[in-house]
Amino acid sequence: MSVPIERSRARLRAAVAGWKAAGARVGVVPTMGALHAGHISLVEAARAACDRVVVTLFINPRQFNNPADLESYPRTEVSDAAKLAPLGVDLLYVPDPDQIYPEGFATNVSVGGISDGLCGAHRPGHFDGVATVVTKLLLQTGAERAFFGEKDYQQLLIVRRLVRDLDIPCTITGCPTVREPDGLALSSRNARLDATARAIAPALNCAMLGAAAALAQGAAAAPALAAARQDIRAAGFDEVEYLELRDAATLAPVETADRPARLLAAAWVGGVRLIDNIAVPPDT
Ligand code: AMP
């Protein structure tokens, strides 16, 4: 059993058009490959909700603000295809670069406001790259449903916003973050953690859970977050890039969790940048 791989936009469109003509609901799961159980959970959600499932694999150069990060990003197409084979994926779209960025490509999709803080403040251009490629992948696949992880919470909200603003006829579904048993959120970049950094890494989620519990009880954000930052540093992280409490829907800063809120963080350990986020109060 293997998954058909398509590299051409025209042939992808022809395949999807055939499915739609037969009345199928088509779902898409955009990825950059190096698939892990987090990605697989999105594929399973798509499989459960749709008749046909397209997974895309495109390492999008425009969303890497750091050339070394792009250079070292894992490229594992063969094993990715093997992981998808038993899941009933109908097509793996691995576009040739010119299928996404043809000669002379000059358009940028930029989602205002919600892209500005958090990762947007620390990774210049990142979310424009994400918004542009997601717009293209949704239009190229023509999927009616698309599945994204809450792991990248700011990205999920940006995608919801651009789909609304640009009238793209696609429903966005957010799926819960899949974690290691010790709480570390699965990420393709976790493979870069050495043994020491891997042992320290779960401290990020652990400190966030502690802060979220206090915030859910009505604690003020500033002292609760200062204490959590200190715990993360004391555990061995090199830097806490940000740790912030935001409104869960708008990402506006909030002082207390007196409405559905989200605690979001990025921190560096052993040369690897990890991100995480959790609901406040916690999801039941
Ligand atoms: P990436 O390949 O990192 O661009 O991620 C592709 C999709 O998988 C995005 O929608 C991510 O939010 C989602 N994803 C990544 N890690 C996880 C995880 N640990 N749990 C759930 N979804 C994830």
Among residues 175, 209, 243, which one ends one of the domains? 175
Residue among 42, 57, 170, 192 to mutate when testing ligand 1 (max atoms within 8 A of CB):
42
Q: Is residue 180 part of a domain?
A: no
How many Å lie between the centroid of ligand 1 and the Cα of residue 14?
A: 27
Say what percent of the chain tops pLDDT 70: 100
pLDDT of residue 231: 98
Cβ neighbours of 244 (radius 10 Å)? 17
How many other CB atoms are there within 10 angstroms of residue 199's CB atom? 15
Identify the residue whose C-alpha is closest to ligand 1 atom 5: 31
Domain shared by 137 and 170, yes or no? yes
**Domain edge (last residue) among 175, 196, 225:** 175
Specify the pLDDT at position 197: 98
Q: What is the pTM of this model?
A: 0.97
Query: In terms of domains, do 10 and 120 share one?
Result: yes
Domain ends where: 145, 175, 205? 175
Tell me: do 89 and 164 sit in the same domain. Answer: yes
Q: Where do we find the tokens 């998808």?
A: 84
With bands split at pLDDT 50, 70 and 90, how would you rate the model's confidence at 26? very high
Q: How far apart are the first and last CA of the chain?
A: 38
Q: Which atom of ligand 1 is nearest to the CA of 150?
A: 12
Q: If you take atom 19 of ligand 1, which residue's CA is the nearest one?
A: 186
CATH for 156: 3.40.50.620
Same domain, 104 and 143: yes
Answer yes or no: is 230 within a domain.
yes
Cα 63 to Cα 24, 26, 87, 212, 283: the distances in Å are 32, 26, 28, 30, 30
Q: Do 144 and 10 sit in the same domain of this protein?
A: yes
142-166 pLDDT tens trace = 999 999 999 999 999 999 999 999 9
8 A C-beta contact, residue 155 and residue 60: no
Beta bridge partners of 272: 269
What is the mean predicted confidence (pLDDT) over 240-253? 97
- The pLDDT of residue 284: 72
Ligand 1 atom with the shortest distance to the CA of 39: 8
- What is the token pair recorded at 51? 């008749």
Q: 122 catalytic, yes or no?
A: no
How many Å lie between the centroid of ligand 1 and the Cα of residue 252?
23
Rounded to the nearest whole angstrom, what is the distance from the C-alpha of residue 8 to the centroid of ligand 1? 24
Residue bearing the CA closest to ligand 1, atom 7: 31
pLDDT in tens, 97-126: 999 999 999 999 999 999 999 999 999 999
Query: Measured between alpha carbons, how far is 49 from 129 in angstroms, rounded to an integer?
Result: 28
pLDDT at 283: 81
Ligand 1 centre and the CA of 63: distance in Å?
Answer: 15
Q: What is the mean pLDDT of the segment spanning 244-251? A: 97
Residue 23 CA to ligand 1 centre (angstroms): 29
Marked catalytic residue, from 36, 39, 122, 126: 39
Question: What's the pLDDT score for residue 1?
Answer: 74
Number of domains in the chain: 2
Do residue 138 and residue 271 come from a single domain? Answer: no
- State mean pLDDT over 45-66: 96
Pocket of ligand 1 (CB under 6 A): 31-32, 38-39, 41-42, 148-149, 151-152, 175, 177-178, 185-188
Residue type, 46: A
Residues 189-226 pLDDT 10s: 999 999 999 999 999 999 999 999 999 999 999 999 99
Give the Cα separation of 116 and 39 in Å (integer).
26
Residue 282, pLDDT score: 85
Average pLDDT, the chain: 97
Which of 123, 122, 117, 132 has the alpha carbon at shortest distance from 60?
132
Which residue, by CA, sits nearest to atom 13 of ligand 1? Answer: 149
> For residues 99 and 30, is the Cβ–Cβ distance under 8 A?
no
State the CATH number of the domain containing residue 253.
Answer: 3.30.1300.10
Angle at 170 between CA 173 and CA 275, to 5 degrees: 40
What atom in ligand 1 is closest to the CA of residue 187? Answer: 16
DSSP state letter for 271: T
Beta pairing, strands 145-149 & 272-280: unpaired
Domain ranges, residue 207: 188-280
Question: Both 144 and 225 in a single domain?
Answer: no
**One domain for residues 246 and 146:** no
Same domain for 241 and 103: no
Contact present, 225 and 253 (Cβ < 8 Å): no
How many angstroms separate the alpha carbon of residue 39 from the centre of ligand 1?
5
Closest residue by CA, ligand 1 atom 14: 149
Identify whether 182 is part of a domain: no
pLDDT of residue 84: 97
Same domain, 228 and 161: no
| Residue to probe by mutation, ligand 1, list 56, 64, 73, 151, most atoms within 8 Å of CB | 151
Following DSSP, what letter does each residue of 111-124 receive, concatenated?
-TTTTTSTHHHHST
Give CA 170 to chain center in angstroms.
17
DSSP character at residue 178:
P
- 6, β-bridge pairs: 93
Same domain for 227 and 129: no
Query: Is residue 18 in a domain?
Result: yes
Statement to judge: residues 171 and 225 lie in one domain: no
What is the C-alpha separation between 265 and 99, in angstroms, rounded? 34
Q: Is residue 181 part of a domain?
A: no
- Which amino acid is it at 96? D
